[in-house]
Structure 1
């Protein structure tokens, strides 16, 4: 309550909708991560950006680690959304072998583009590995489809179209993911980070060709 107006009239303090502060803190954390990676996610700074006192922020997150965990999940969702958009732009019916190959290419391309264009969010998405359950079929229990889920879905489509056998399909997502993620890290923060754009493009094309050849 605040006192305002003549004769000390009392007016109610405007309250934010339930959940708005928490959502705002996560959104602020995402912007901090976008600019500076996981180390830039600081609870007090996020509170300042949202316009609340630190005590209000601590009602939603016990400490900085809890906020980082939420931001980590949100960053992974952004990566997944970028991948889903790339797959969605590929024409061709589900089960068509040629279209499935293009969708696999789109998955890798979107992953590499996100790592290149959003290095802070990419690093944050993988800052807390325990946040993500990679040993289960994610997306099967009402969860948001993750990057791994989307890769699995395309590989399942390729297997259904007869491009790869069920025996070869088993576990194939992990070497493919490792190959693409490795290139993203090498060209992002690793020893290949300063290569010219033309060289990076050739490396990406060679990686895609390598993965496609593994299907034959």
Structure 2
């Protein structure tokens, strides 16, 4: 497992590098990932606009910033993502602002899911390759301490209840999900991740 994480980190992107990669592919009419289609490129384009907006509007609460800055150790957040993923577009700008506000306690790194099958297979959600997935690594020890994703609890419940009632994931629930994120303003992601960070038991191995 350690070698799989190390390999992914070696090939990882910073947030700005990831953004540039997605933008450059879009300019060629492409998306990230093994599959290419008009719909995936369309979703990537929508996500590009979402991320541009969120980078300007997302605020990290003073309480969360204080907790991030007083973490006892340094961490890497290694995130599995793809440019076409709507959840990733909503979550990555929050992770970036949390990392930037942490006084270098957190280093955000991003890898593409389809280029990291070995890593993704270790972090399946109900047997599926759902993203984004945040893998929390203690930098000093080089050990995975926790993981989170692919979406906040409230969003997960929204999707699960809809699928239970209607039996499908269609465009309506995808729109409802985006509206949920809009109303939440990134608060759930911040709260869930800081809770994870505060609960990590640090032991150097």
TM-score, scaled to structure 1 = 0.28
Q: Which has the higher strand share?
A: 2
More helix by proportion, 1 or 2? 1
Q: Highest CA radius of gyration, 1 or 2?
A: 1
Point out which structure has higher relative CO (alpha carbons under 8 A, 6+ apart): 2
